[in-house]
Amino acid sequence: MTDHRSIRIEHPADHVAELVLQGPGHGNALGPEFWREFPDVVADLQADRDIRCLLLTGDGDHFCYGLDLQGMAAEVSGHLDGGAAGRSAIVEQAALMVRGFDALAAGRLPVVAAIDGWCIGAGIELLCACDLRLATNDARFALKEVQVGMVADLGGLGRLPFLIGEGWTRELALTGEAIDAGTAREIGLVNHVFGERDTLRAEALARAARIAANPPLVVAGIRQVLDGRIAGAVRSANREAATLNGMLMQSEDFAEAMRAFMEKREPEFKGR
């Protein structure tokens, strides 16, 4: 498999491939390299019949800081003052970005995610495309898009209600505030919480290996049924969120959110 900048592939057990998020953005933030590379990585792994389960981890102290706003600035800046054409381009870009997450959710390979440190924004939306989510006590989760003037449009608002219910989805999405690992377990965002990073990895790998030992065609069928139940709702939510972002990302509030982020200060939103 081709070397990638944003993802490292390892093979820690028979029939198990590990996807390691590795930047190059700080805290494994998801920038242009990731969005270009991830769909092809997923497609290659799905096509490898020796692989039966995936393990998803983050390199370093954090799982994922979410969207790399600085890294993506050049990708979107040309669309922000482009009127109708700019709005259309933002919607098209969102559709390209979500391809890998949708392929991960709909493919034959189950995914076990192991989360340590921060998991923010697009990182949570990536988790929603996985099957099992395990974390350490140090894990923290936040859906921060609202605080940077955006609507989450990568599957989070579509998939989260099926995982944690309507009430918790609205709280996370509307406040942008963080929850700890214990709360994440209570609401169903993660299945299990462990004390140490090494224990987390061992337990996640053990579950991936156990899944890989089951008949692969049946495992793929189970995933097909479970994803099929919600796929239409997720597509609809993603399309609506991307359409809204096509307008909202041309607003004064979005520009203020970006300035505040770069200047490391609190934004002052005006509702226009």
Q: Give the start-to-end residue ranges of the domains of the chain.
A: 7-199+215-263
Question: Does the pLDDT at position 82 exceed 70?
Answer: no
pLDDT-based confidence at 13, cuts 50/70/90? Answer: very high
Question: Does the pLDDT at position 205 exceed 60?
Answer: yes
Q: What percent of the chain has pLDDT over 90?
A: 75
Residue-wise DSSP of 165-232: HHHHHHHHHHH---EEHHHHHHHTS-SEEESSHHHHHHHHHHHHHHHHTS-HHHHHHHHHHHHHHHHH
User: How far is 17 from 209, CA to CA, in rounded Å?
Assistant: 10
What single letter denotes the amino acid at residue 152?
A: A
| pLDDT average, residue stretch 22-49 | 94
Question: Does the pLDDT at position 1 exceed 70?
Answer: no
pLDDT of residue 86: 73
Both tokens of 17, joined, read: 């491939």
Question: Per DSSP, what are the bridge partners of residue 111?
Answer: 54
Q: Tally Cβ neighbours within 10 Å of residue 122.
A: 28
Range in 34-38, 175-179, 190-194, 264-268 with the lowest mean pLDDT: 264-268
Helix (H) or strand (E) holding 115: strand 111-115
pLDDT digits (tens, 9 = 90+) for 106-141: 999 999 999 999 999 999 999 999 999 999 999 999
CB contact at 8 A, 108 and 46: yes
Fold annotation for 7-199+215-263: 2-enoyl-CoA Hydratase; Chain A, domain 1 (3.90.226)
Global confidence as pTM = 0.93
| pLDDT average, residue stretch 161-174 | 98
